[in-house]
Structure 1
Amino acid sequence: MDFKPMQYVYEAVGNPAAYTLLLLHGTGGNERDLLPLAKSLGKGFNVLSLRGNVQEHGMPRFFRRLGMGVFDEEDVHFRTHEMVHFLEKLAVTEGFDINKLVAVGYSNGANIAGAVLILYPELLAGAVLFRPMQPLSGIEDSFETQRQAPVFMSSGKQDGTVDPAATAAYAALLSSNGFKVSAVEIPAGHNLVQQDVTLAAEWIKDNFQ
Structure 2
Amino acid sequence: MPMSPPVSFYYHTNKRSVSGHPLVFLHGSGRTESDSADFLAQLSLHTEAVFIRGQHSQTPGYTFVRRNDDLSLDYDEIAGDAKDLAGFLVHLTLQNPNWQKPPVLIGYSSGAIMAAAILWHYRDLIAGAVLLRPQSPSMERPAPLKGLPVLMLSGLWDERRDADASLHLEIQLEQARAKVTHVTLRTGHGEAEDGSDFSVTKRWLEETFSIR
Question: Normalised by the size of structure 1, how large is the TM-score?
Answer: 0.90
- Structure 1, gaps ≥5 residues long: none
1:173 aligns with 2:176: no
In structure 2, list runs of 5 or more residues that go unmatched: none
The 8 Å contact of residues 153 and 183 in structure 1, kept in 2 or not, is answered as yes
Shift of 1:118: 0.6
| CA distance in structure 1 between the aligned counterparts of 2:26 and 2:117, rounded to whole angstroms | 12
State how far apart, in whole Å, the 1-side matches of 2:120 and 2:100 are: 17
Could you say what the CA RMSD is over the residues aligned between the two structures, in angstroms? 1.9
Taking structure 1 as reference, are residues 202 and 67 closer, same or farther at Cα in structure 2, changes over 3 Å only? Answer: farther
State the secondary structure of the residue aligned to 1:128.
strand
1:145 counterpart letter in structure 2: L
1:23 pairs with 25, 40, 45, which one?
Answer: 25
CA–CA distance in structure 2, aligned partners of residues 98 and 62 of structure 1 = 27
Contact 1:154 1:185 in 2 (8 A): yes
Mapped pair 1:200 → 2:198: no
Displacement of 1:44 = 3.3
The corresponding residue for 1:8 is: 11
CA drift at 1:13: 2.2
Equivalent residue, structure 2, for 1:136: 138
- How far apart are 1:126 and its partner, in Å? 1.1
1:2 offset after TM fit, Å?
A: 7.9
Kindly indicate whether the alpha-carbon contact (under 8 Å) linking 1:20 and 1:96 is maintained by their aligned counterparts in 2.
Answer: no
Indicate the structure with greater strand content: 1
Cα displacement (A) at 1:77:
1.0
Distance 2:130 2:70 in 1: 22
Deviates more, 1:33-42 or 1:111-120: 33-42
Q: Which segment is superposed worse, 32-41 or 20-29? A: 32-41
- After TM superposition, give the deviation of residue 69 of structure 1 in Å: 4.2
Cα distance change, pair 162–8 in 1 and its aligned pair in 2 (3 A): same
SS of the residue corresponding to residue 34 of structure 1 reads helix
CA distance in 2 between partners of 1:31 and 1:75 (Å): 21
Equivalent-residue separation in structure 1 for 2:100 and 2:68 (angstroms): 32
- Output the CA distance in 1 between the equivalents of 2:5 and 2:208: 36
Alignment match, 1:84 = 86
State how many pairs are aligned.
205
Answer whether contact 1:21 1:38 (CA < 8 A) is retained: no
Change (3 A) 1:73 1:122: same
TM alignment of 1:103-114, pairs within 5 A = 103-114=105-116
Q: Secondary structure of 1:167's partner? A: helix
Which one-letter code corresponds to 1:110 in the other structure?
A
